[in-house]
Homo-oligomer: A and B are copies of this chain.
Amino acid sequence: MTRREYDEWLNEAASLAHALRYPVTPEMVNDSAGIIFGDDQYDAFENGLWSREPYEAMVIFESLNEPAVDGLPAAGAAHAEYSGLCDKLMIVHPGKFCPPHFHQRKTESYEVVLGEMEVFYSPEPVRVGDEDVLEFRPMPDGEAWPEGVALPAGREDSYSRLTSYVRLRAGDPKFVMHRKHLHAFRCPADATTPLVVREVSTYSHEPTEHAHDKAVPLPSWAGLHDNAFVAEAANTGRLATAIV
C-alpha cells in the first residue's frame, strides 16, 4: 500500500466521520488508524477498496480511551484493566471484514451509524485458563449465517467457530458483545456506502505503533495486548501498518 493509497483511504474516511458528526481531531487521523490484518491482506489494494472483494481491512478513529483509574479504590487496581471507557468510529468498505478475534478483558457495544453491519460471533465464551468468571446476561444465540457471505481467501477456517449471526441497522438498540466471545463483522458486499459503526467499550489495550510510547496508568498495563485474533497473521498485522 502506497502512502497515497493510505492517505486517500484515511482522508475519505475522516470526511465521512465529520459528515456524521463524529468528533474527529487531526491527531486521530494517524498511521495506526488504517488497519490491514496481515501481509496477505494488502492485496486488497490491488483492485482497490471498492472492488467488493473479501479482505480484512478497516479504519478506526478513536476519540476516547480512558482507563478510568482515577478515583478508583486502590484495592480495585488488580481488575481495573477490565474497566475503562473507549469510543471508536469504525469504517469498513463493502465486502471487507474485521477478522475473528476475542478480548479477554474488553466488553463492547455496537451502534450502526451508516449502512448495515453483519456480525458473526460465538455464543459461547472462550475459557481463559481455569479462571472462574461471572455470568449475568449471556450472549443471545443469534441466527444462522445467510447464504453467500464471501470470506477472505485462506482465512476461511478462522471464521468456523463464529456460528451466530446478527444484522444490525441504524436506529437498532445497542448490541453488546461480551468479553471472551469470538466475533467478526463485515460490511455487506453490495452496500452503497461503507459501514460506519460507533463502538463504545471498556478500555482498548492495543500496543499499536501510534500508542506505544504513551504512559500507562498501572505498571501491569504496559504492553498489554487484549486482542486475540484467530488467524496468527491478523494478530501481528493489527499493530503496525506498512505504508511504502
Give A contacts to B, CB under 8 Å.
4, 7-8, 11-12, 14-16, 18-21, 23-26, 47-50, 63-64, 66-80, 82-85, 87, 107, 109, 111, 113-114, 125, 131-139, 170-174, 176, 178-181, 192-194, 196, 200-202, 217-218
Contact = CB atoms under 8 A, between A and B. Distances in A.
A54 B69 CA distance: 34
Nearest to A46: B4
Given A132-B74, A134-B77, A87 B19 contact: no
A49 B79 contact: no
Given A71-B134, A83-B202, A48 B4 contact: yes
B19 A69 contact: no
Contact of A138 (B70, B84, B107, B180): B70
A133 B217 CA distance: 13
B11 A71 contact: no
Nearest to A13: B12
Given A16-B19, A23-B174, A64-B174, 5 more contacts: A8-B49, A64-B109, A64-B200, A71-B107, A73-B79
Contacts of A178: 68, 70-71
B114 A69 contact: no
Contact of A25 (B70, B173, B217): B173
A68 B83 CA distance: 8
B23 A170 contact: yes
B174 A137 contact: no
A82 B76 contact: yes
Contact of A107 (B26, B85, B114): B85
Contacts of A134: 69-74, 76-77, 80, 217-218
A187 to B, nearest CB: 11
A72 B20 contact: no
**Most chain B beta carbons < 10 A, residue from A21, A71, A78, A136:** A71
A114 B73 contact: no
A26 B192 CA distance: 9
**Most chain B beta carbons < 10 A, residue from A12, A50, A202, A218:** A12
Question: What are the 4 closest A-B residue pairs judged by CB atoms, nearest first?
Answer: A76-B79, A83-B83, A71-B179, A136-B217
